[in-house]
Structure 1
């Protein structure tokens, strides 16, 4: 869908060539619509050699077992998003350990970036929220073989368990001020 009116000032948009690409730009304030993007997060929580999974109660993926996750809010730091999503979906308290994988999914409607975090388990027994998910628990690799685990979740689990690095870690003491940004690096 074309953006016809500026989200900054409400004036009409026009097509302009910017950096060799046709883009929508405001006729009044010159704000540029760079595209439609969404950022999703997912959590891989391991406790006693078992992985936390939830069963989707809604589309997309209804009936599939997946890792808990969701989408960031506009002003929410991404590390807070993944903690919130795990807590909302199944009542488990976690902390971010590091980033273990990324999925880049460019599509015509919305370009999606998915950031998968390895999480430290803190507390709580998995209880589904009854809205987004209708099942939750910690499952062994053997148990997962008989479950309908989403293929992308299978890939994430493999990336986490068979990865050969520490992944990106939250840089809690960067050498420059963060101004509210979250910095991650290989430490």
Structure 2
């Protein structure tokens, strides 16, 4: 889908060069359509040497085992999104510890995916029956015989072999900044 009208005033947009890129912009106000973006988040939760996986019940990836995750809502902090998605998809309560990987995927809707290591808190895996039809904790040996998505395999490898601790949640920044999710090395 393409944007043709200004989201601020409703005027027909024109294409013109802005910052060296051809962009749609309003002729009546200052609105510029900077592009289409989506931000996804995913969880890597380990318990007793096994990782939490869910089996996709819908496209894309129907039938594949993946780490739980989803897309952030407009007014939701990333770490709140991933806690919610994990709980919705698997019934597991978990807390964010750090960011361990980022995927940048330019395309018609530019996708950025942020993977979080999370500490298991409580619960037993139960699929939501809508987005996922199975959920459980699995060892690497068990995963060898499962249809685990390649990106999920890569994320688990990153979590296991990471050379650093990743970006850690900054719970006590030197200056209070309400409403922001802050992470630091």
Q: What TM-score, normalized to structure 1?
A: 0.96
1:116 aligns with 2:115: yes
Give 1:179 shift.
Answer: 4.2
Counterpart for residue 184 of structure 2: 185
Give 1:175 shift.
Answer: 2.4
The Cα RMSD (Å) is: 0.9
Counterparts of 2:79 and 2:25 in 1: how far apart (Å)? 32
Q: What TM-score, normalized to structure 2?
A: 0.97
Give 1:53 shift.
Answer: 0.2
Counterparts of 1:100 and 1:55 in 2: how far apart (Å)? 22
How many residues align structurally?
Answer: 185
Provide, for residues 121-176 of structure 1, a one-character-per-residue CA deviation record: whole Å limited to 9, x for no partner: 00000000000000100001110011000000000000000112110011112223
Counterpart for residue 69 of structure 1: 69
Helix, strand or coil at the partner of 2:148 = coil
Give 1:177 shift.
Answer: 3.6
Gaps of 5+ in 1: none
Gaps of 5+ in 2: none
Stretches (4+) displaced over 3 A: none
Provide, for residues 37-61 of structure 1, a one-character-per-residue CA deviation record: whole Å limited to 9, x for no partner: 0000000000001000000000010
